[in-house]
Structure 1
Amino acid sequence: MNSLTDRATAARHRTPLNRSQIAGFWGAWAGWTLDGMDSFIYALVLTPALTELLPNSGYAATPANVGLAGSILFALFLVGWGLSFIWGPLADRFGRTKVLAGTIFTFAIFTGLSATAHNVWELGIYRFIAGVGIGGEWALAGTYVAEAWPEDRRKMGAGYLQTGYYAGFFLAAALNYTIGVHYGWRAMFLTGAVPVVCAILILLQVKEPEKWKKAEARTVHSKPLREILGPAYRRRTWVMCALLTIAIIGLWAGAVYEPSAVIQLATKAGMAKPEAIKMASIATGLLSIATIIGCLCLPPLAERIGRKKTLAVYFAGMAVSIVGAFGWAFYLPNGLAPFIAWLVVLGFFGGNFALFSLWLPEQFETRVRATAFAFCTSFGRFVGAGVNFLLGAAVLNMHTLGVPVAITAVAFVIGLFIIPFAPETRGDVLPQ
């Protein structure tokens, strides 16, 4: 009873946020939201974009070619994500807010340019460079919120921040339901240029976190990448790389192929193509809402049972829901409704990404924190690019997308055996 009273008292006396902390959070959240929107726009417009661009590039727009080209372009996008580790050392050296704004500029401008593509090669180049920008946004937004917010609020701040990415999924689905259906895929990519405004606001209104300023004042600049791979941090760096790799494989296996799966099931159920596309948007919206709820539920659970047990719960939920959706419901005679129901479950446990925004900053000191965050996320994206390419080849060769995607559940089972090697940081303050 006393513990409940103590928690209630603490909740009433949380450290208030100042104007810069509030503006910085909303800038980071908006950037992460528009980042998620940008990422998912590609999944939603994949088929119409490639159907138009493949003939211009000398290839027939057959379903097999669309699937293969889509996987190759997405792999290029993930490689761009992987190269985003360049932003981490820049942020540790020059500051969080300036470099965060730079990542947003990069992905916004090149997403907008994707609307001008005349062939698949141009689209691939634009998506690759946009990926470099998008990949850096999470690492820098997560680092900023962890350092700028007071200790008694930063853990929930991580959960709040992560909701932005899935709010972006929802926004992309809503735009596709309205703009995409009526104005086409080029208009969808143009909407991705909007975050430039967000980047300008971050540069003008948000101050650097005091933790970074203090660390910068006393730090003799070394090589942060070498330090996180050195004896002091090597184990936790590679464990986080492995766990983030698993999370990324699961997210993209489910999220990228979800619209295509829903369209196939809706068409099988007798819906016309426009109605099937709208159904895919509705399913994406439900997936996004469920993931936002999963993100918000995660920080209190991580405070109650610890970081490692929380991630184990979410990984187990991902494994079961991926198999339930793509391995079972996708093959039912009337599988549309069961598939969407499983997507909601998958979406909730997809909130596991919020744990990394909370947990990863707790494992590294300020002088190397952004580098560590960026390196771990980039490593996972490089591996994810390879897995996505193999997944596309499997879909092409097996002539089905359900089984190949369902097999990715094995990654989460492997993750359950890796989690014990990670440090438990529940109750620790953010290291300076």
Structure 2
Amino acid sequence: MNSITGAAQRARKTPLNRSQIVGFWGAWAGWTLDGMDSFIYALVLTPALTELLPRSGYAATPANIGLAGSILFALFLVGWGLSFIWGPMADRFGRTRVLAGTIFMFAIFTGLSATAQSVWALGIYRFLAGVGIGGEWALAGTYVAESWPEDRRKMGAGYLQTGYYAGFFIAAALNYTVGVHFGWRAMFLTGAIPVVVAILVLTRVEEPQTWKRSEASHVHRGHPLREIFGSAYRMRTVVACALLTIAIIGLWAGAVYEPSAVIQLATRAGATKAEAIRTASIATGILSIGTILGCLALPPMAERIGRKWTLAVYFAGMAVTIALSFGWAFYLQNGLVPFIALLFVLGFFGGNFALFSLWLPEQFETRVRATAFAFCTSFGRFVGAGVNFLLGAAVLRMHTLGVPVALTALAFVLGLLIIPFAPETKGETLPS
């Protein structure tokens, strides 16, 4: 009987209070709408630039649309990279208020993108929206880690990460309804909806007790950005930056180029342009489903085999599936079906981002946790932006999409060599 009772006690999870539940859904909704916003841009880029380039004095040729699109994407990524500014603010002034600020910022400037009358105005709005979007993941992940009970926060990280990919579905659904009938400006207007989420987070959610205790007991020792590069944290900061950079390279290689690859494969198989675009939408949905499942499967695996081994499994899976999908299936005569099948597996291992939502908060104390999370994610985005340009140049030079993207699998091989230098935090409680 005692063993049965003990097992029942272990299975019984600490109940969540109202603030923890509302706070999680606020953070999840913000992260979902982040994903929606990012994918909205990919969906409306061509029609928006077709209208705005002539107003800005440029012909709307395919080459100019491609160039302007790359520049706008780079501005957006620079905004993402600069989002590390939110971390020190959250460590000083609290998680929920600054989280609401990030959501409010990306919502407002996404909505303002609908008013752009030139490509320059659109670029400024996308840059500022990127600053807001980039901070949301770090602050949402920090909030969930600190506010949820110890026996639930690991799964909370997995649940949280599903939001970004759920946003892809919402964006696709909006494009088939709002976008088709009302155009690209209406699509950007829908991106202003998260303002409601920001107000909810700001008014209905309490600060985590972990942060309150830290704020009450610690004298501020200095700027947290300096602290995370001090002797206590320098190694884990550098290693986390490297691992996140590799994960981000894989995300953009697999997700950003996936629609173009599917469209090429579908066209090669005899599909019309409209049919190829619809096939790309279906493939994106399959990729997203795989990623959501990968996010949910990751926390139990991390608890069983440890954080480092789990990331090694996911990185190895990314290396193999990127190489197979873009280096093999893409070049098959009838490669559409095997390519899409591999996308599901690629999506599953793309769920490695859930590990960082779980693992990064465990590596840093409360007083610098948000700063460390925000900095490590921002660093990876800067490097990822550079890799994105190199990939684009390689595609133009080699006149093929498959091989350059397949070569990004080598980044995950490098990641497998870096993982041993990271700390293993399995079985440890969140440091205060």
Band of TM-score, shorter chain:
over 0.9
* Paired letter, 1:287: L
Paired with 2:280 and 2:425, the residues of 1 have a C-alpha distance of 39
Alignment of 1:1-400 (within 5 A): 9-11=9-11, 13-221=12-220, 222-400=222-400
For the Cα contact (< 8 Å) 1:321–1:342, is it kept in 2?
Answer: yes
Q: Which amino acid aligns with 1:91?
A: A
> 1:81·1:135 contact (CA, 8 Å) conserved in 2?
yes
Letter of the 1:366 counterpart:
T
Deviation at 1:6, TM superposition (A): 5.8
State the shift of 1:146 in Å: 0.2
Alignment of 1:391-410 (within 5 A): 391-410=391-410
Report the Cα distance in structure 2 between the residues aligned to 1:407 and 1:384, rounded to whole angstroms. Answer: 14
Deviation, 1:260, is 2.1
RMSD: 1.8
Shift of 1:86: 0.3
Pair 1:255–1:232, CA change in 2 (3 A): same
Verify the 8 A CA contact 1:43 1:257 in the aligned structure 2.
Answer: no
Residues 1:429 and 2:432 aligned together: no
Residues 5-46 of structure 1: CA deviation (Å, up to 9, x unaligned): 9666412x2110000000000000000000011112222223
Q: Give the superposition deviation at 1:204.
A: 1.0
Letter in 1 for 2:268: K
Deviations 1:98-144 (A, max 9, x none): 00000001111111122222332222111111110000000000000
Superposition deviation, residue 59 in structure 1: 3.4
Give the direction of change, closer, same or farther, for the CA distance of 1:198–1:29 in structure 2 (3 Å limit): same
The alpha-carbon deviation at position 231 of structure 1 amounts to 0.3
Q: In the comparison of the two structures, how many residue pairs are matched? A: 430
- Rounded to whole Å, the distance in 1 between the matches of 2:138 and 2:38 is 16
Q: Which amino acid aligns with 2:165?
A: Y
| DSSP-derived class of the 1:151 partner | coil
Q: TM-score with structure 2 length normalisation? A: 0.95
Classify 1:324/1:57 alpha carbon distance in 2 versus 1 (closer, same or farther; 3 Å). farther
Structure 2 portions without partners, runs of 5+: none
Identify which range, 414-423 or 164-173, moves more after superposition. 164-173
Kindly tell me: are residues 55 and 164 of structure 1, through their superposed partners in 2, closer, same or farther at Cα, counting changes over 3 Å?
same
Distance 1:3 1:89, change over 3 A: farther
SS at match of 1:115: helix
> One-letter code of the match for 2:323?
V
- Cα 1:289–1:8 change in 2 (3 A) is farther
AA of the residue aligned to 2:202: L
The answer on whether the counterparts of 1:391 and 1:405 sit within 8 Å (CA) in structure 2 is yes
Change in 2 beyond 3 A, CA 1:154/1:331: same
Segment drifting more, 252-261 vs 211-220 = 252-261
Per mean C-alpha deviation after superposition, the further-off stretch among 212-221 and 355-364 is 212-221
Say whether the 8 Å CA contact 1:170–1:289 is kept in structure 2: no
Q: Report the secondary structure of 1:308's partner residue.
A: helix
- 2 CA distance for matches of 1:236 and 1:6? 36
SS at match of 1:254: helix
For the residues of structure 2 that align with 1:402 and 1:176, how far apart are their CA atoms? 27
Q: Which amino acid aligns with 1:86?
A: I
1:420 aligns to what?
420
With over 3 angstroms needed to count, the CA separation of the structure-2 counterparts of 1:58 and 1:335, relative to structure 1, is: farther
Distance 2:192 2:125 in 1: 12
Q: In percent, how many aligned pairs have the same letter?
A: 84
Give the Cα–Cα distance (whole angstroms) in 1 for the partners of residues 219 and 258 of structure 2. 48
Mark the CA change 1:69 to 1:394 in structure 2 (over 3 Å): closer, same or farther.
farther
